[in-house]
Amino acid sequence: MPNIGKEIEQLREQLHHHNHQYYVLNEPLISDFDFDQLMHQLTELEKQYPEFNDSNSPTQRVGSDLNKDFEQVKHVNPMLSLGNTYNEEEISDFYARVSKQLMEAPFEIVCELKYDGTAIGLTYENGKLVRGVTRGDGVQGDDVTANVKTIKSIPLQLKGDYPEKFEIRGEIFLPHKGFNRLNETRVESGEAPFANPRNAASGSLKMQNSAQVAKRPLDCFLYYMLGENLPSNLHSENLELARQWGFKIPSHIKDCKSIAEVIEFIQYWDEERHNLPYDIDGIVLKVNSLDQQRSLGFTAKSPRWAISYKFKAEQGYTKLKSVTFQVGRTGAVTPVANLEPVFLAGTTVQRASLHNADIIGSLDLHENDMVYVEKGGEIIPKIVGVDDSVRDSSAAKIEFIESCPECDTALIRIEGEAAHYCPNTDACPPQVKGRIEHFIARKAMNIDGLGIETIDLLYKSGFVKNVADLYELHPMQLTSLERMGEKSANNILSGLEESKQVVFARVLFALGIRYVGETVAKKLCSAFKNIDALMGASLEQLIDVDEIGPQIAQSVLEYFSNDQNRLLLNRLKDLGLQFELSEEEQSQHSNKLEGLSFVVSGSFASFSRDELKGLIEKNGGKNLSGVSSKTNYLVAGDKIGPSKLAKAEKLKVAIISEDDFKQMIDN
Ligand code: IVH
C-alpha cells in the first residue's frame, strides 16, 4: 500500500482532534467505543509499519513501563515564584507600586485563579510538544516529558497558527473526583492515601514509570506563555490564541481596569471556590501588557508585574469532647482530639491531630475547651487555637498519659524526640498487628489475598502472633475465620508460599526495623550481602555504608540485639525466606568501583541511564547528580548536557564513554 503514511497521519489527526474535544472542551463528538476503534486501528498500523513511528502519536499517551530517571534540564527562563499578599491593603500597595513605576500610565490587571497543583513548563517546536520540565529549584528542573505526554488535556500536536518555538507554563493538578478515586484504591490496596490533591499531583508527575502515570487522572491548565515571537502584546490575548491552538486555558479569567474590579473578583472567588471541582489557594494578578511587564521587570525571586493573593485557610470553631491516644506500629503514641462535628472546607470534621505532648502543652488545652480547627496540608485537620474566654474555671488541664492505653506499660520518651513510645514492642497489640500489616504490604512481602482485616481476625483468634506464624498457618485455621471460604484460604496459602521468593532487600524492609525504609534496606543488602553479615556488623561498619547515618545504624543494632527478633529471624530463615542476595544479584555485585564517584549524563546504546547507575552502585561506586571536584568520572552518552561537559573539562574530571565504562566493570 503506497499511502500507509498518509493513512497513519490522518488517523493521528482525527485522534488528536477527538482527544481535544473530549479532554479540553468537554464536548465529545464520538462515542468512547468509536474512539477506541480508531485508536486500535492506529496502534495496529504503527505496529505493522514501525518506520512511521512518532513519539507524539496519540498512541503514545499510554506511557511506557520502562523505568526512566529524570534528566535535569536548565530552564531557558528561570521559573520564578510569585510574591504573596494576604489582604486588600497589600493588594492596594501592589496596585500603587505598579502605577507609580509605570509613571501613572493606564494599565490592566488580569485576574486568574491560583491553581493548587504542581507547576510545569512545556516547550513546543513546530507545533509538537518536545519537552515538559518541572519547576525544580527554579533554575533547573526534572525532564518529565514522558509523564506529561500521558496527560490527555495536554496537546501533543497543536493546530492553527502557532509560533515556531515557545514555552507555555501551567499547573498540573488532580480534580477532586480523581483524587478521591485514587485514594480509595490506595487504601484498598493497603497503601497510604495522599494527604491532598497537590501532593498526589506532584507525586504522580515524579513517578518513574509513565505507564503508571497514565492511570492517574491528571489534568493541566496553562496560564503563562513565554517566547521571543509571541503573537500579541497582551497576556490575555496570547492565552486566548493558545486556547485556539488546543491548550486547556481556564475560563475564569478577568481583565480588570480598576482596583475595585480586582477586589470584586477576589471576594467572589473566596466564596465560590468551594464549588469548583478542583482546589485553588488564591488569586493571581498580572499586568496585561507585555511591554509594561518588561518595564516593570523582576526582583531576584519574583516578577514585579504579578502577585498572588492567598485565601485564608477556613477555620472551624467547635467543642473538644475528649482526647484519645493511639499507638502505632513503632509504638509511637499520638494524641487525637475528638470534636463536636463541624463543617469545614467541604467536609465534616470530628477529629483533629494533636501531634505530641509539646503541642498539647503549648495550646494549654483543657477539658471541654472551645477550639479553632484548620485544614492544613494533611488530611487530618489540626487545632490552631483555644478560646479560653469561655472556659469553665473548674475545667481540668489535658495531661499526656503516662502508660500505654493498649497494654498499660509505662511510656518512655527518647531524648531529643517529641514523641512518647510504648516500649512493650513484643506484646503491645497495635504494635504486633502493625508489624504484621507492614510485613504483608504491597511494597514489602506483597502477600496475595491477605489484608488488614484478615490479620486482625488471625491475631484475635490467637493463630498469629508474629510474622513467622503466618507461614505455619493450617488451612483449617484459616477457614474457621469469619467469611473465609476454602478458595480465599488457598489463595492466602499460595500467596505466602510465593512470598518465599521475595528478594532479600524487600524481606529486610518488611521486618519493619525503625528507619529502615525501602532504600536503606537496599543499601544494607548490597553492602552486607546476607543477614548474618548484617547482624554481625559493628556501628562503624554500618555507618561506613553510603547514606547510613548513626541514627539508622543504632536502630539496626538495637533490632538485632533483641533476643525475640533473633529467634524470629531464625524461624523465618528455616521457613525458607530469602536472607541473602541471589546468585544473580551477587554476580552483578563487585567492589571494582569502590571509592569512585560518577556522574552519568546523556543517553546510551546498551542501557538506560538508570541501569547504568544501578551498575555503578552494584560495583561499589557512587552516583553524584552534578559534576564537582569530588567527581572521578563523567560517563558521557549521546546528547550529553553541554554544561556538564564544560564543567568536567574545567575541573579536569575524566570523561569516559559507555564502552570505557563497560571495560572498567568487565575486567
Ligand atoms: S503565573 C512569573 N498563574 O503559583 C509568574 N502561577 O507562586 C509565573 N500558579 O509556581 C506564575 N496558578 O505554580 C501563575 N494562574 C496562575 C497560577 C500560578 C497557580 C502557581 C505556579 C507558580 C506559583 C507562584
CATH number where 648 lies: 3.40.50.10190
Residue 610 domain flag: yes
β-strands 412-413, 597-601 pairing: unpaired
185: Cβ–Cβ under 8 A, 6 or more apart, which residues?
none
| Ligand 1 pocket member 167 (CB < 6 A) | no
- Per the structure block, which three cell numbers stand in for 610? 538508570
Please state the domain count of the chain: 5
Closest protein CA for atom 3 of ligand 1: 223
Domain final residue pick, 499, 531, 553: 499
Residue 659 domain flag: yes
pLDDT at 369: 96
- State whether 82 and 218 are in the same domain: yes
Q: Is 652 a catalytic residue?
A: no
- State whether 197 and 252 are in the same domain: yes
- State whether 544 and 602 are in the same domain: no
Q: If you measure from the C-alpha of residue 225 to the centroid of ligand 1, how many angstroms do you get, rounded to a whole number?
A: 12
| Ligand 1 pocket member 82 (CB < 6 A) | yes
Catalytic member of 68, 114, 149, 286 = 114
* Helical segments of 297-396, H only: 357-363
- Residues in the chain with pLDDT values less than 50: none
Q: Note the pTM of the prediction, 2 decimals.
A: 0.65
- State whether 91 and 121 are in the same domain: yes
pLDDT at 376: 67
Residue 346 domain flag: yes
Atom of ligand 1 nearest to the CA of 250: 15
pLDDT at 442: 86
The CA-to-CA distance between both ends of the chain, in Å, stands at 51
Q: Measure the CA–CA gap between 197 and 210, rounded to whole angstroms.
A: 19
Look up the domain containing 366 and give its range: 4-61+313-390
| Ligand 1 pocket member 171 (CB < 6 A) | yes
* Helical segments of 311-352, H only: none
Q: Measure the CA–CA gap between 213 and 66, rounded to whole angstroms.
A: 12
- Per the structure block, which three cell numbers stand in for 92? 492596594
- State whether 135 and 202 are in the same domain: yes
| Ligand 1 pocket member 369 (CB < 6 A) | no
- State whether 251 and 131 are in the same domain: yes
| Ligand 1 pocket member 80 (CB < 6 A) | yes
- State whether 218 and 282 are in the same domain: yes
CB contact at 8 A, 144 and 209: no
Atom of ligand 1 nearest to the CA of 119: 13
Residues 340-355 as b or e (16 or more Cβ within 10 Å = b): eebebeeeebeebbbb
Which residue's C-alpha cell is 575486567? 667
| Ligand 1 pocket member 284 (CB < 6 A) | yes
Compute CA 535 distance to the chain's CA centroid, rounded to the nearest angstrom: 33
Residue 67 domain flag: no
662: Cβ–Cβ under 8 A, 6 or more apart, which residues?
606
Residue 422 domain flag: no
CB contact at 8 A, 525 and 513: no
Domain final residue pick, 390, 405, 421: 390
- State whether 207 and 225 are in the same domain: yes
pLDDT at 2: 60
CB contact at 8 A, 152 and 23: yes
Domain final residue pick, 499, 532, 558: 499
CATH number where 581 lies: 1.10.150.20
pLDDT at 184: 87
Residue 654 domain flag: yes
Atom of ligand 1 nearest to the CA of 116: 19
pLDDT at 346: 65
Atom of ligand 1 nearest to the CA of 306: 5
